[in-house]
Amino acid sequence: MRTNGGSSNYHAGRFELRRRFANNFLGTVAYTFSKNINNADEVFAVGLGSGESSFAPFPSIFGGQKHNYGLSVDDRTHRLALTYVVESPFFKEQNGIVGKLLGGFQLSGVSTFESGVPFSIQNGFDADGLAGTDRPTFNPNGQRGVRAVPITNASGCVTSYINPEIVTATNAAGAPTAYQTIDPNTAQFIVNPAYVAGSPCSTPIIGNLGRNTERSPSVYITNLTLLKRTRISEKVFIEARTEMFNAFNTPNFPSRATDVIPSVANALTQGLFLNPDTVNTSGGGRVIRYQFKLVF
C-alpha cells in the first residue's frame, strides 16, 4: 500500500508590481498562477481517515501511485497578495496641540486572495478488500454533492441505497434511525459496499473518483494596522498601534485538507456544495491587538 517513492510536478508564473514610497503611499501587487500535482501529499500519514494518507487506493505494484496522481493539497491555482502603507499628509510636523492630535497617522495592511484547498472524498468502506484509501464511484450525471450509500444484508449483498442527508425517522433522543432511499443513478457519488470474501454477491470494486477532486471555498484575508505616532521631542515619541488580523472577519480555512472537512464519505455533507458557508471553519475569527509604547 505504501512506497518510499513519489512524484510531483509544479509550474508557476508570477507577476509583481511595486510602487516605492511617494505621495504618502507605498504599495505592492503580487500574483501567482500555478499548478501543483503529485501522487502523495504526506509520506508519514497513515490510516483511512487521513485525507493526506500516504496509502494509495490499491498496491503501488499494481499501479496505485499512478492512479493516485492528482492535485496536491498545497495547490493554489490563483494567489493574489496586496501590501500597502498610507500615511496621513496632514499635520506631518505636528506643531501645536492640534498638530499632535491630528498628525502622525499611518494605515498599513496585507490583503490575500487565494484558491481553496483541494481534498479527497473517500468511500468509507474497504470496497476492494485491499485496505488503502478507497474512493467512491463518480457519476457525472448525478446531482451535485448527493451521495448514495449502500445498505447490505448479513451476506454483504446490497439491498438498497440511502441518501444520508434526508432523515425520515428519529428515535426519542432525536438521533436518525431511517433515511430516504435513493436511486444511485441520481447521486453524484456512489459509495461502494465493503467487500465480503466468500459472499456470492460481493466482488472487489475500485471507485473511479480521482484524488483531491474537490476544493474548499476560496480564502480571503486582510490584516490591517492603524498607527499613531505623537512626537514629544526630536528623539522621543509615543506610539499607539491597533492591529487587526482578519479585519473583516471572513471565514478562513486551514492550509491542510484534513482540517477543512472530514474525509470519510459518511461525514461529507451535501451542504458543502449547496451552502459552502455551512462548512466547518477553523481559525477564521477576527483578532484585535492594541499596543502602546514610549520610544526614546
Give me the domain span that covers residue 169: 135-209
At residue 62, does pLDDT exceed 70? yes
Confirm whether 128 is domain-assigned. no
Handedness of CA 140, 143, 144, 146 (dihedral sign): negative
In the chain, where do the E strands start and end?
Answer: 8-22, 25-38, 70-71, 78-87, 105-114, 118-119, 137-138, 143-152, 158-170, 176-181, 187-190, 214-215, 219-231, 237-245, 287-295
Percentage with pLDDT > 90 across the chain: 39
End of a domain among 209, 231, 262? 209
Three-state secondary structure of 73-134: CCCCCEEEEEEEEEECCCCCCCCHHHHHHHCCEEEEEEEEEECCCEECCCCCCCCCCCCCCC
Element housing 64 (H / E): helix 64-67
Residues 101 and 242 in one domain: yes
End of a domain among 188, 209, 230? 209
Task: Provide the pLDDT for residue 5.
Answer: 72
Q: For all residues of the chain together, what is the average pLDDT?
A: 82
Rounded distance between C-alpha atoms, residue 185 and residue 190, angstroms? 8
- Nearest CA among 243, 225, 223 for reference residue 288: 243
Distances (CA, A) of 112 to 79, 134, 281: 7, 35, 17
Percentage with pLDDT > 70 across the chain: 83
Task: Provide the pLDDT for residue 1.
Answer: 59
Residues 107 and 194 in one domain: no
Residues 94 and 84 in one domain: yes
At residue 47, does pLDDT exceed 70? no
Residues 87 and 24 in one domain: yes
Average pLDDT over residues 90-115: 90
Residues 157 and 49 in one domain: no
Residues 157 and 17 in one domain: no
Pick the more confident residue, 157 or 277.
157
Task: Provide the pLDDT for residue 40.
Answer: 80
| 124, β-bridge pairs | none
Task: Provide the pLDDT for residue 132.
Answer: 67
Count structural domains, the chain.
2
Confidence of residue 184 (pLDDT cuts 50, 70, 90): very high
Confirm whether 126 is domain-assigned. no
User: Amino acid identity of 81?
Assistant: A
Confirm whether 107 is domain-assigned. yes
Rounded distance between C-alpha atoms, residue 37 and residue 243, angstroms? 37
Rounded distance between C-alpha atoms, residue 16 and residue 39, angstroms? 31
Q: Mean pLDDT lowest for which of 3-12, 162-171, 247-256?
A: 247-256
Residues 108 and 63 in one domain: yes
Confidence of residue 252 (pLDDT cuts 50, 70, 90): low
Residues 291 and 256 in one domain: yes
Confidence of residue 139 (pLDDT cuts 50, 70, 90): very high
Confidence of residue 109 (pLDDT cuts 50, 70, 90): very high
pLDDT tens digits for range 264-295: 333 444 444 443 333 344 446 788 999 999 99
Confirm whether 14 is domain-assigned. yes
Residues 115 and 228 in one domain: yes
The pTM for the full model equals 0.74
Task: Provide the pLDDT for residue 50.
Answer: 42
| 38, β-bridge pairs | 8, 70
At residue 125, does pLDDT exceed 90? no
Query: Do residues 166 and 89 touch, judged by C-beta distance below 8 A?
Result: no
Residues 90 and 203 in one domain: no
End of a domain among 209, 231, 263? 209
Query: Any residues with CB less than 8 A from the CB of 175 and at least 6 apart, and which?
Result: none
